[in-house]
Amino acid sequence: MAIAEQRIRREFREVIRSEEVERCRIKVELVNDKFNELKGEIAGPPETPYEGGKFQLEIKIPETYPFNPPKVRFVTRIWHPNISSVTGAICLDILKDQWAAAMTLRTVLLSLQALLAAAEPDDPQDAVVARQYKERQDVFQKTATHWTNVYAGGPNHADDLEDKVRQLTNMGFEEDQARVALSSHNWDTAQATDFLLS
């Protein structure tokens, strides 16, 4: 048996037995019986805009695992400086050059949870989000909370933001695109419309 598969089998047992799973903070599921693709889920950390949300992850295990890191991407859309609001790609050092063979799925999921609690705007994946995070922290918090509500099942509904999205969908724009445009332009409807038309 290849080392990658053997490792994932052992890790899978480790994660599903862990305390974090018991408390519903992280979750992993197999996608196939080849152990090279998994579905992950992390709960948004308390006292962050992501609180109450459940974020799905796509986890692909390379054949060279654990000598190379797993490829991880957010499937659930999220507004965060280190995660692409469009593709879900993640900028996190341990998934790149700081990976170490002793790390596991459990440490990866916990690190991602920690990233949600402490963004690193100086090493962004999404430059637009990072700029808002640095320059308009209030708008960032509100936007991230709204995205958590819409995409991750978070509890905080924002009627004012929903109204703005509806204004644009009534003009014929697609909902997700409208939300991205508004979020990227600090919820200025005129600027977002210009952007969508350009």
Partner 1 sequence: MASYFDDHGVNELSENLTSDELPLVMARILLRFGFADDIWLTTMGSDGLGPYPTAKKVIEELPTQIITKEEAEKKNTCSVCLGHLEEDNEVKTLLCKHQFHTKCILPWLEKVNTCPVCREEFATDDPAYEEFRKYKARKKQRDFELDNLHNSMFG
Residue 104 as a binder of partner 1 (CB under 8 A): the answer is yes
The DSSP secondary-structure symbol of 55 reads: E
Q: How far apart are CA 44 and CA 58, in angstroms?
A: 16
SS (HEC) of 68-106: CCCEEEECCCCCECCECCCCCEECCHHHCCCCCCCCCHH
> Which residue in 22, 100, 172, 197 binds partner 1 (CB under 8 A)?
100
Residue 127 as a binder of partner 1 (CB under 8 A): the answer is no
Q: How far is the CB of 3 from partner 1 (least distance, A)?
A: 6
Q: How far is the CB of 111 from partner 1 (least distance, A)?
A: 15
Say whether 91 is catalytic: yes
Q: Which two tokens stand for residue 45?
A: 């950390």
Beta-carbon neighbour count of residue 35 at 10 Å?
Answer: 20
Residue 68 as a binder of partner 1 (CB under 8 A): the answer is yes
- Indicate the helix (H) or strand (E) that contains 4: helix 3-17
> Which residue in 66, 70, 81, 124 binds partner 1 (CB under 8 A)?
66
Largest CA distance in the chain: 58
> Which residue in 24, 31, 86, 101 binds partner 1 (CB under 8 A)?
101
Residue 99 as a binder of partner 1 (CB under 8 A): the answer is yes
- Helix and strand totals (H; E) in the chain: 8, 4
Residue 76 as a binder of partner 1 (CB under 8 A): the answer is no
Question: Which region, judged by CB under 8 A, interacts with partner 1, from 23-31, 91-99, 112-120, 152-160?
Answer: 91-99
β-sheet with 54-60: strand ranges across: 26-30, 37-43, 54-60, 71-74
Q: How many residues bind partner 1 (CB under 8 A)?
A: 16
Catalytic residue among 57, 83, 91, 181: 91
List residues binding partner 1 (CB under 8 A): 3, 6-7, 10-11, 14, 66-68, 96-97, 99-102, 104
